[in-house]
Structure 1
Amino acid sequence: MKRTNKTAVSYYLLSVLVPMLLMVGLYAMLQIVPFGRHNLLISDLGTQYMPFLAEFKRQMAQMNFSTYSFSLSLGGDILPLAAYYLISPFNLLLLFWSNSQLPVVVGYVIILKIGAMGLTMAHFLKTRQPEYHFSALIFATAYSLSGFVAMNFYNLMWLDALIFLPLVILGLERLFLKGRPGLYIWMLVATIFTNYYLGYMSCLFAVLYAISLLIKWKQPQQSWWQLVVHWRQAIWQFCWASLIAGGTTAVVLLPSLLGMLKTGKKTIAATSFYPTPQFGWEVLSQFQVGGSHYTQRLIHEPTLFISTLALLFAVYYFCLPTIRRQAKWSNGFLIVSLALSFWVTTFNTMWHMFQQPEGFPYRNTYLMAFVLIKIAYEASIEPIGKRQTKRLVILIVGCLLSIGQLALYYGPHVRGVQKQSLWLLIGLMVLASVIFAAWQKGARWQPWVIGLGAVLTFSELVINGRLTTTKLPMGDQVVYAQQYQRQAALFEQLERQTPDFYRVNNQAILLKKAFKEPYYGYNDALTFGQYTLNNYSSTLDERMRTMLVNLGFYSKNARRINGIGHTVLTDLLFANQYDLIAKQGQVVTQPHKTLGLGFAVNDQLAHVALKAHEPFENQDRIMQAMTGQTTPFYQYNQLDLQAQKRRQITFTTQVKTSGYAYLYLPQQNLSKLKVKINGRTHKVPIELNGTTIIGLGRYQKGQQLTLTITSRQPKAFRKIQVASLDQAHFDQAFDQLAQQRLKIDLKQLSADNGWIAGVVPAKTADQLLYLSVPYDSGWHAQVNHQTVRTRRVMGNMLAVPLEKGTNQVRLVYRAPGLIIGAIISTFSLMTWGLILIKQRRH
């Protein structure tokens, strides 16, 4: 092997291994598996990404690539979720381990992604000069373990964008200089495919970078119009190449867009576009180690750390006389543009897809890290500068960092910023300044200086990583594996004993024993391949969530829905056949009367509109419409005041019917209330920050119920609703509906969630097949081999019109926008192919 090839192999191998080894070192400090029993069951990684990855793994293992899943609450399009979280080639590694070991494998995947970031950045920096400079590895590693990565490494779906960014920019430069857009198109396509959110940011940055290239190449005598005319061919090529890249990803983007329009995120707040500043001078402290840590992940300032040495060289870039003024203006334009995108609320909102992020703010700071590290390396390989220039740079950086610390310590209190030991910060600054001052290309001591610079920078990156992960509430992998097996065995038992479609309201939540943070099991259905009402994701259907809230279910916000608040009636409506309840260390299974996936009902159901804060009335009207009866199913119980204090009120009531009784307190935060039922405190499996139906137990007609409510808010005592279900009336209605239940092929449904087929009888021609499935325009129905239009009932549930007699029903789900997106993607690729053919002919 030639010396050059050996150097290249060593260069690229080290670019991968160094950041990976540093991350392994951080894992060892945190005692993460295999260095201890900790895992990364933290934040959204534990509550969302892990279950989503389990679903991805299940579909891949079963070779079942359905675009619909009944494990997403009552069911939903899985494409928007997959496009945001799951389309990464690194996820294929998950197939080789069991689900109980998934947290361990995810930790390894994160290390591999960070190594890949070092590789692509090292390759990009290699293009800055003809030779291999191992000093580039210092800057490439600083990129792969920058402040953004240290703060967000457990949001692993974002890391792919950082891997591809250097290659996107390299392709963009190649497009302008050589007229070859291939690399730019493919890398931009890969970025958008793996995560369209950061892919959108990379697209915006590509536009800014293209403008910066024009600024860089502008000649002193040229006007801006002449510059555009001179580069018109490259500009035109950049425009159509970007359109082709976007069009190629339409097969993912279009269904994702249509899916996101159904969520609560479609609402745009005007205040998010006010041109107000988002932070002050304390932001300069974020260039130093430990600017923020885990507990500030939802609210923090831009994570700008890139290492002190890289920061010195980034400032040095603008002071070097050997670098053209236009190049400085070019990169200055990028830095100022990105800085404004953080600082001005209007721009920040635009960069975040016209929505202020719910936690993890400033998600585009990885772009600033890229620009600063790029120019830092370019400055480091320039010829020797004057000592006075380096002293000036040290003074400038020292002053800026001092201003940041002074604002942090003596300015107004700000959230999301962490103070660190001033001696630590001063020590790192002094060491970096000494190395920076001694950095001289070609000097005798240069290898030693580079070596010391590497040691300092790598140490600083690890220190920053450790400070950023302060108070990281890691999970217990041993307990997780044990509880996973226990929970899986319970679900397998239910599956064996239940021949029909069913859902499980899992409030036992065995996995929470492995978490240090509160864990509510919202996505356990995805983890175990089960069906439930619970869900927590950014793709939650807002109309479905609102419907469930109007029926009395608990929802913390637009991203969460929980099975707490269910009643005997809603158990029937949503096929909730089992409750899993933790009692004295054991899991108790409580069965309910359900009728599977669907049953025939009167078409009056299509005319029922739900009212806010009236769950009992809503449920009553639904059941009356379904059965054609006028007798109410709920009886409201009259409350007799027994005692009232300043913060406590006690009622008694005589229950009017034999059956379950329920309490509902409209518009109340139940976490601030204390409810006692017959002297016993009512307990819930999770903290309730809103209102929901509270089950009071089962009573006989005439039995006395005593209710005590303690609250600091007097309005909590207003509009108290206590209703009891007439169980005998419900049983009669249940038997009536059971005669017209849908019989389905459960094996086929389990194999492909986007397909429902079965037989249902209808007594009259004006009946509907009610399905325990949310309405979605992607469902296409046939009844007796004739295409029929699906109906939206009950606010957001699916129904199909029936004919009198026996009905053969078949429903197929096609994700909205998927076919059109695929056509656009195919057309885009064909257009690119024709352009390539035309170019080669010329």
Structure 2
Amino acid sequence: MKRRKLLWYLAAAALPLLFLVPVFWWTGLYPLGRNTLVWCDMRQQVMPLLMQLKDLLAGEVSPFYSLRAAGGMNLWGVLFFFVSSPLSILVLFWEKADFFLLANLMTLLKISLCSLGCFWFLRERHPALEPQWSMLLSAGYALSGYTMLFYQNSVWLDVMAVMPPLYRSACAMTRRGGGWGYLFWLTVLLMLQYYLGYAVLLFLILWAAAAALLEVPYGERGRFALRVGCFTAGALALSAPVWLPSLFEVMASARTVNVVASIAGGRWFTRLYTTLSFLLCSAALLPAAFLSLRRRSIEKSWVRAEWLLFLWLLLPLVFDPINKVWHTGSYQAFPVRYGFLTALLLVSLAAAGLTEIGEGHTRRGGFTAACAVLSAAALLVLLILRGHFVELFSYVKSLWVNQTAFLWLAAGAAGLFFAAVLILLLHFGGGLSRRVLCGGFAVLLLLQSTLFSAAFIGAAARDGSFLEPIAALEGRIDDEEFYRVKTDRKLFDVNLIGGIGYNNLGHYTSLTREDTLYTLKRLGYSAYWMETGSHGGTLVTDALLQNRYIIRNRADSALTARQIYSNGSYWLYESACRMPFGIVTGADAESISELPDLPRAMTGARAAETLLGLEETVEVVRPEPDVTENLFSGIGEDGRMTLAPASGAKSALMVYHLSVGEETTLYFDCFDRTSTALSEPVNGSFSIWVNGAQRAASYPSQRENGLLCLGTFSGEDVRVTVRVNKSVTARSMGMFGITSSSVERLLEARTGEVSLTAEQNRIEGTASSGAAGTLLFLPVPYAEGWQAQVNGRTVTPLRVLGGFLALPLEAGQNAVSMRFIPEGMALSLAVAAAALLLLALAFLLRRAGVSPPVPAGRAALVLLVFLACLTAQLTSILPLALHWLF
């Protein structure tokens, strides 16, 4: 018996993978080919972070802090946002160059776990349903719209796998007793993905209120509310070491928004083509769910509760203000992040409906009709895939389903829906047995999986071998001192530099610090949305921030003597300009708290001069164009410059004829403001050619909006042609030049000997100072969580130059020691320890037969009603009212 039960569980885990075979084979996805399904967030964030996790597990990176991202950042919240899955341990057994293939394997395993978790839920929640039906419905859950649209956020599938046992454990609390399973699974979910835990908590409040009203006997409602409240609070406390430090990190990030303004602004309706596509992915299961509306099913109180919750979760699919509430106030893409809840309720309702249908008998005519219906559905799906496959690619290209793709997906979904209706009618008409009906649904789910996985997974298939030459750059630098690596332009996703083991300024996740992002942008480095790039900057800022090595995707004959490595795809060069890691400065902390308000090419130079006690050492020239054509230029009262075509022509020209003597690096800039906008108004303003070769077709852009390096020249004539494509107003705009000799003079300045090492979450060493009151400037981003000691005395790190660190020094030799512990970690550990003690005490009291007093239950019920009313308002009327009013 146990062996047969195990076989059913194994079959449930394997079935969704079998449903994916046609698309994986057709598109050559690994393991049936050599293509990867990685794109979007999995490519930009998950895979590079898994590379860092591999190094973390090898002891090279601290879980608290990483110098390999954004110049240095709190890694704790990032890990538990992207790579906290237990399956991430697989990185230990794969080479980084093959991680894009590993992603396929991890995704398949997670889909399998989603089916397994749902199968367990259905066997417990719907014991009268045959295991073959439970197996099919579990596969439908695992291959629902949530998986199809959001598998790129890999750990979200882990949450999807955990939700069925969590919901089953929650439902068990409607009967007297229980709750420990609920405590376990909720704690696991909150530790896996604290962000999605927010939506789960909203759902659990609504579920608890519906269950108390419809399922729990009147006299037990207080005890039920108390159980739910205590175990939910216990799970929050036990998981606090994950979510509380992460919350502090989120609050310091550039991702925070004004929630009221976000909800009030925007649109009434969601992007329906995308949100409704989420539902289309379960089209074949909808008729089965509707069966639960029949009297024999709907009379059950828990079925009514699930229908209420399911319909409630349809509201955010349609109304954008409500949708934003489920996303903590705002979102950019992935608009149904809570959709695993909707999918699970749909599967549960389908199970309730299918449980009540009779056995029936198969007749020849009924079987033939069923075959005809299924064949028609198959033909429709094949015709859509054969004739319109490329038209289904819109989501993979833009993160949104366009109208054309939606209409074809809707046509396929409609065919599957009506096919399911027809075979159900054949069963009720006495033409199909329950077993044959189950087989018919298996065919429909296979067709459904093929259609939607082709559109959302197969469409992403591409050769993943481009990671190999990038991974080959790892370990090519032999340098014992602290250094960073940059790229000369955006060559690949910015997180990959840290992924291959190099400290750098680039980073892209939702936890990028706001002050770091804005500071780097003002220093001339490329940045947009939540992404900081290592490319951009000047010779001075590169030296100041320890960018000692540069990756290019082409050979540079001028740098041959400084070449470190090349694999034919990428070249690694050493920079000629270096500054020590750490500068002893006599500058007053208040005077250097912010960056100077200057054009970006001058900002870093003047900041470095201030730190070194110099004035105008770095020569920054600002040539004017020798020839202009159809150009209007002007400067407003606020100091911002405007360039625009003067007449009706579409563009204007500026031509610079430069006779460069001593070695000079030329830059072009167009920068107006710091923001997290996906696209700035200044974007696309210029096209630039240097000596006839195009340097930028559209500058600034998302990929390149820092200072644009035009090259280093000496003893030659240089011709730079700039086409002004549109009217543009900016604070920093035009051409700049920096002479190498002036930078060398700056680098020769010394104000104190510094010898520091920086590894993982620690910075240690010595710094000498000629007088008390001096500061040690460190090119490391400021963040709450740094703890510092100077000569054994605790000191408070200071925030300088907009977003960097400085420590106060004493006269003479100073022993410096710093370490980073995420803000809130100590508090959260204390909360978790206290929760463990209280839960242990509660367990012992329960074993001893001690029950909580009745007033406690009443108070818990009042609190539940209050929270439920508040949550119901937040997820329905209130956001719509805010949008309408403001």
Same-fold status (TM-score > 0.5): yes
1:583 matched to which residue of 2? 554
> Any residues of structure 2 matched to 1:409-808 within 5 Å, and which?
418-420=406-408, 424-425=412-413, 427-439=415-427, 445-469=433-457, 471-472=459-460, 474-481=461-468, 483-488=469-474, 492-494=475-477, 496=478, 498-507=479-488, 520-557=492-529, 559-583=530-554, 585=568, 587=571, 589-604=573-588, 606-608=590-592, 609-610=594-595, 614-645=599-630, 646=649, 647=651, 648-652=653-657, 659-667=664-672, 669=682, 671-683=684-696, 688-689=701-702, 691-699=705-713, 706-715=719-728, 720-737=733-750, 740-745=752-757, 749-750=758-759, 753-808=760-815
Is the contact made by 1:556 and 1:688 (CA closer than 8 Å) also made in structure 2?
no
Change (3 A) 1:838 1:19: same
**Residue 40 of structure 1 pairs with residue 37 of structure 2:** yes
Write the distance in 2 (CA, Å) between the matches of 1:452 and 1:378: 18
Contact 1:272 1:345 in 2 (8 A): no
Question: Which of 149, 159, 162 is 1:161 aligned to?
Answer: 159
Residue identity matched to 1:201? A
Amino acid at match of 2:345: V
Q: Aligned partners of 2:87, 2:700: CA distance in 1, in Å?
A: 36
SS in 1 for 2:668: strand
Structure 1 window deviating more from structure 2 (458-467 vs 364-373): it is 458-467
Asked whether the 8 Å contact 2:768–2:811 carries over to 1, the reply is yes
Gaps of 5+ in 1: 220-226, 284-291, 293-298, 388-393, 399-412, 510-518
Structure 2 letter corresponding to 1:532: N
Letter in 2 for 1:22: F
Go from structure 1 to structure 2 and tell me whether the alpha carbon gap of 1:835 and 1:731 turns closer, same or farther (over 3 Å shift).
Answer: same
Q: Note if contact 1:532-1:576 (Cα within 8 Å) is conserved in structure 2.
A: yes
Which amino acid letter does the alignment assign opposite residue 120 of structure 2?
H
SS of 1:177's equivalent in the other structure is coil
Cα distance in 2 between the residues matched to 1:599 and 1:575? 12
Q: Does 1:377 align with 2:351?
A: yes
SS in 2 for 1:564: strand
Alignment of 1:28-427 (within 5 A): 28-62=25-59, 65-131=62-128, 132-217=130-215, 227=218, 230-268=220-258, 270-274=260-264, 278-279=268-269, 301=276, 303-305=278-280, 307-324=282-299, 326-354=301-329, 356-384=330-358, 418-420=406-408, 424-425=412-413, 427=415
Does the 8 A contact of 1:603 with 1:766 survive in 2? no
Per-residue deviation, 1:656: 9.7
CA 1:88 to 1:628, structure 2 compared with 1: closer, same or farther past 3 Å? same
Q: Which amino acid aligns with 1:381?
A: T
> Identity of aligned pairs, percent?
20
Deviations 1:467-521 (A, max 9, x none): 333632x33234433x145322xxx232x2x221111113487xxxxxxxxx623
Structure 1 residues 823 and 415: CA distance shift in structure 2, 3 A:
farther
Contact 2:287 2:417 survives alignment (8 Å):
no
* Structure 2 partner of 1:27: 24
Residues 802-841 of structure 1: matches in 2 within 5 Å?
Answer: 802-841=809-848
Question: Whole-Å Cα distance in 1 between the matches of residues 331 and 277 of structure 2?
Answer: 13
- 1:360 Cα deviation (Å)? 1.2
* Alpha-carbon distance in structure 2 between the residues aligned to 1:325 and 1:276: 40
1:279-319 deviations in Å (ceiling 9; x for gaps): 48x95xxxxxxxx7xxxxxx654611354442101112113
Report which stretch shifted further, 27-36 or 188-197. Answer: 27-36
Most deviating of 616-625 and 815-824: 616-625
Q: Deviations over 1:590-611 (max 9, x none)?
A: 4132234212122336413225
Would the aligned equivalents of 2:487 and 2:535 in 1 still touch at CA under 8 Å? no
CA distance in 2, matches of 1:576, 1:307: 51
2 CA distance for matches of 1:376 and 1:80? 37
Contact 2:668 2:736 in 1 (8 A): yes
Measured in 1, the distance between the counterparts of 2:182 and 2:245 equals 24
- 1:335–1:243 Cα change, 3 Å: same
Offset of 1:176 from its aligned partner? 2.2
CA deviation after TM superposition for structure 1 residue 169, in Å: 1.1
Per-residue deviation, residues 734-784 of structure 1 (Å, max 9, x unmatched): 1223x6342234xxx44xx11111122222323211111111121111112
Cα pair distance change 1:479/1:663, threshold 3 Å: closer
Preserved contact between residue 613 and residue 666 of structure 1 (Cα < 8 Å): no
Letter in 1 for 2:743: F
Q: Partners in 2 of 1:534 and 1:675 — Cα distance?
A: 25
Tell me by how many angstroms 1:155 deviates: 1.9
Instruction: Using the TM superposition, give the Cα deviation of residue 124 of structure 1 relative to its aligned residue in structure 2, in angstroms.
Output: 1.1
Over 3 Å counting, the alpha-carbon distance change for 1:720 and 1:277 in structure 2 is: closer
Query: Cα–Cα, structure 1 residues 622 and 213, in superposed 2: closer, same or farther, change >3 Å?
Result: same
Indicate the RMSD between aligned Cα atoms, in angstroms: 3.2
Deviation at 1:568, TM superposition (A): 1.3
Distance 1:184 1:256 in 2: 23
What amino acid is the match of 2:291?
A: Y
**Is the 1:313–1:377 contact (alpha carbons within 8 Å) kept by the matching residues of 2?**
yes
Aligned counterparts of 2:576 and 2:507: Cα–Cα separation in 1: 21
Aligned residue for 2:140, secondary structure, equals helix
Give yes or no for contact 1:656–1:724 (8 Å, CA) kept in 2. Answer: no
Q: 1:146 to 1:240 in 2, by over 3 A?
A: same
Deviation at residue 697 of structure 1 after TM alignment? 3.4
2:571 corresponds to which letter in structure 1?
V
Q: 1:564 to 1:605 in 2, by over 3 A?
A: farther
CA distance in 1, matches of 2:214, 2:429: 25
Contact 1:568 1:592 in 2 (8 A): no
- Describe the SS at the equivalent of 1:734: helix
The question of whether the paired residues in 2 share the 8 Å contact of 1:637 and 1:723 is answered with yes
CA 1:776–1:444 in structure 2 vs 1: closer, same or farther (change >3 Å)? Answer: closer
Residue aligning to 2:637? none
Superimposed CA distance per residue, residues 377-413 of structure 1 (whole angstroms, 9 cap, x where no aligned partner): 11111154999xxxxxx9xxx9xxxxxxxxxxxxxx9
CA distance in 2, matches of 1:92, 1:8: 28
- For residue 740 of structure 1, what is the amino acid of its counterpart? G
Q: TM-score, normalised by structure 2?
A: 0.81
CA deviation after TM superposition for structure 1 residue 321, in Å: 4.2
Distance 2:336 2:605 in 1: 47
